[in-house]
């Protein structure tokens, strides 16, 4: 099942990717009538799509500002029931209801470029003071399931989570890992730097070894030529102190050695 935002892609016989890129919102008859609403991800459509997943691993990639609490909680429940290994990744933002969906992953990743945002449920309302009081009470109850999920999955207390939700907290990659919202910290730059440093080190060491080998072989070749041309007399003086004829012989030995190496390549 595919559309522009809720997109399943079977990458291999063992892994499927799901992209949730859009509002977490139930489609209406108006959307169907007008042929719009492709940017919406709803629990009903996701339920049908999940039934088509036949791989043991599912990766859910999220970039969403959130949406309806009810749809977010339903999608969280559906993903939590996935029998295989579920990995969730924040590709950009996972805000509000989308952050709840993110918490469904057994493995959760907020990369350096990703952000979470958590806050209390909110609505628009009108009415008298009694009505407003009732709505405030309802909103606290509607917020509670999300608060429970964050508390259960992170290493923060309910009071700490509540404080962050009251502040409408934006959470960085580092904070997400430290507080337990994510389980895996991806440090691509650090990894690449380590790989590159290791590569450069090995390259330098190999070249150093090669250089030492070449110098040793050249020296041996030069000594053999000198022994032959100087009637076996041993070379006891450093290169700079040799007489002109001996220097010329050594230069010829180096040239002969490198020409031989180049021909073999």
CA angle centred on 73, ends 16 and 78, rounded to 5°: 35
Q: Are 79 and 133 in contact (CB under 8 A)?
A: no
Measured N-to-C along each axis, helices 43-50 and 69-80 cross at an angle, to the nearest 10 degrees, of: 20
63 vs 94: CA distance, rounded Å: 6
From 64, 96, 146, 173, active-site residue = 96
> Among this protein's residues, is 96 annotated catalytic?
yes
Q: Are 72 and 93 in contact (CB under 8 A)?
A: no
- Give the HSE-up count for residue 156: Cα atoms under 13 Å, Cβ half-sphere: 22
> Among this protein's residues, is 85 annotated catalytic?
no
Chain position carrying tokens 């909110």: 122
From 64, 99, 119, 173, active-site residue = 119
Chain position carrying tokens 């805000």: 95
List the structure tokens of 159: 């009071």
Residues annotated as catalytic (active site), given as ranges = 96, 119
């Amino acid at each position: 099942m595919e559309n522009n935002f809720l997109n399943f892609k079977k990458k291999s016989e063992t892994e499927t990717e799901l992209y949730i890129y859009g509002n977490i919102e139930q489609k209406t008859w108006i959307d169907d009538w007008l042929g719009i609403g492709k940017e919406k991800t709803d629990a009903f459509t996701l339920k049908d799509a999940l039934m088509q997943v036949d791989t043991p691993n599912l990766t859910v990639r999220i970039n969403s500002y959130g949406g309806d609490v009810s749809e977010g909680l339903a999608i969280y429940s559906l993903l939590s029931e996935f029998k295989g290994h579920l990995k969730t990744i924040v590709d950009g933002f996972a805000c509000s209801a989308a952050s709840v969906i993110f918490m469904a992953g057994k493995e959760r990743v907020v990369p350096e470029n990703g952000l979470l945002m958590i806050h209390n449920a909110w609505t628009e309302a009108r009415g008298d003071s009694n009505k407003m009081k009732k709505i405030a009470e309802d909103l606290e109850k509607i917020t509670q399931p999300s608060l429970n999920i964050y508390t259960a999955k992170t290493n923060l207390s309910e009071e700490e989570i509540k404080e962050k939700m009251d502040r409408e907290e934006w959470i960085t990659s580092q904070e997400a890992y430290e507080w337990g919202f994510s389980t895996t910290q991806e440090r691509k730059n650090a990894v690449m730097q380590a790989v590159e440093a290791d590569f450069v080190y090995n390259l330098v060491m190999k070249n150093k070894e090669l250089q030492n080998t070449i110098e040793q072989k050249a020296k041996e070749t030069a000594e053999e030529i000198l022994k032959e041309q100087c009637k076996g007399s041993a070379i006891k003086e450093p290169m700079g102190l040799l007489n002109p004829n001996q220097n010329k012989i050594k230069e010829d030995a180096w040239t002969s050695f490198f020409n031989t190496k180049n021909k073999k390549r």
